[in-house]
Amino acid sequence: MKRIIPVVIALALVAAACGGDDSADTTVTTLPATTTTVAPATTTTTAAPTTTTSSTTTLPVNPNISANDTVSTAGLGPIRIGMNPQEANIAAGYGLELDFIDDSCYYLSPEPVLSNVGFMVAEGTIARVDIFPGSNITTRSGARIGMTKAQIIGLFGAKIQTSAHPYVTGGEYLTFVPVDDADKNFRVIFETDENGIVTSYRAGRLPEVGWIEGCL
């Protein structure tokens, strides 16, 4: 009996260790909950730089020309036919804008003081002044864009010679021809539309004043 008891006790201990009642170990290990805090997304907005475009036109401080100046066969106001560009700039009181065509012929513009006006430079000197549509500049005698053929003839009489407009059907060129010998090489040419209304005019020396397409 002394030899059996240790065996029985040993078997009993093994049975206890193996869960002799056949019940499964239901012990659950619960890990502590982990809380993760997500930092809020940071959005950086970069504002586009604001570009301000100024529409202000800066006028020359003391221009010597104005809308009150008039056209004659000699030029416009203080800018005279025969001046070189430097002399024309000095006479204008500021730098005239360059509208370049080529070395032999180009235009100078009196913008921003006067609009729709151009001074043709040919062979290095002012050859003529063009008064384009939209300008209110008048001649010394008061002729201007918008007048009728009859009004132009009323101002200049027999000094006006008429010819067909090369591009406008029914339009004409009304050419003022001076009678003084000193002005015999100068002309003022008024262009009219088919209704006999002056649309533009130019004044200057021959032959440039007669060039139909300006410097082209």
Nearest Cα residue to 144 out of 197, 76, 88: 197
CB distance 208 to 216 below 8 Å: no
Name the nearest CA neighbour of 204 among 180, 175, 179.
Answer: 175
d(CA 23, CA 39): 47
Residues 6+ apart with CB under 8 A from 169: 194
Nearest-5° angle of CA 52, CA 55, CA 57?
A: 135
Contact 213, 198 (CB under 8 A): no
Q: Write down the number of H helices and E strands in the chain.
A: 3, 11
User: Would you state the structure tokens that stand for residue 137, as one six-digit string?
Assistant: 């500049």
| pTM for this model (two decimals) | 0.73
Q: Which of 132, 128, 95, 130 is nearest to 110 (CA)?
A: 95
Under a CB-based contact definition with an 8 Å cutoff, are residues 115 and 135 in contact? Answer: yes
- Beta-bridged to residue 117, according to DSSP, are 131
2 alpha-carbon distance from chain centroid: 122
Give pLDDT tens digits along the chain (216 positions).
344 334 333 333 333 343 444 444 444 444 444 444 444 444 444 444 444 444 566 778 789 999 999 999 999 999 999 999 999 999 999 999 998 778 899 999 999 999 999 999 999 999 999 999 999 999 999 999 999 999 999 999 999 999 999 999 999 999 999 999 999 999 999 999 999 999 999 999 999 999 999 998
